[in-house]
Structure 1
Amino acid sequence: MSRERKAGELIVSAMNERKISYKELALRLERLGIVESAAQLNRKINRRRFSAAFMPACLDAMEEETSA
């Protein structure tokens, strides 16, 4: 399995575990200064075309409210 595929699956898996939709992820990322629509996130994650910095940003955004 490629690293790109693993990275995409890690984000989707984290979203599923936390029951976070693409829309909710978009809202949380916006708080971190990353503005992308839910549709853009869906395409980016499923095509596995994102920077190395994007994955930890997504994971941080998902943790933001679940750890509070």
Structure 2
Amino acid sequence: MPEQNEWEKQAANLLKSELKRKGVTYAQLIEKLADIGINEKEANVANKLSRGKFSAAFMLACLKAIETVTLHVE
């Protein structure tokens, strides 16, 4: 299996950090995604975040679902 590149690691860490900052679990994220019309399974989301392999669209949907207004990227 290929190793995560730095961009994938940064994307995954950014999204995981935002979830933690907001106190949102993966189970809660699934519910919030469903509220905006995106159906995912908790295992799929956990896999995406652990591998860092997800689209920019998925990341934006997650950030929208958890009501992130401002995101700091360094």
Shorter-chain TM-score tier? 0.7 to 0.9
CA RMSD of aligned residues (A): 1.4
Give the whole-Å Cα distance in 2 for the aligned partners of 1:53 and 1:47. 16
Q: Which amino acid aligns with 2:39?
A: V
Give the fraction of aligned pairs with identical amino acids, expressed as a percent.
38
Please identify runs of 4+ aligned residues in structure 1 that moved more than 4 A: none
In the TM superposition, residue 37 of structure 1 has moved relative to its aligned partner by 1.2
In the TM superposition, residue 33 of structure 1 has moved relative to its aligned partner by 1.4
Structure 1 match to 2:7: 3
Q: Which amino acid aligns with 1:17?
A: R
Structure 1 match to 2:63: 59
TM-score (norm 1): 0.85
How many residues of Structure 1 are paired with residues of Structure 2 in the alignment?
64
Higher helix share: 1
Structure 2 match to 1:43: 47
TM-score (norm 2): 0.79
Structure 1: give runs of 5+ residues left out of the alignment.
none
Structure 2: give runs of 5+ residues left out of the alignment.
69-74
In the TM superposition, residue 3 of structure 1 has moved relative to its aligned partner by 1.2
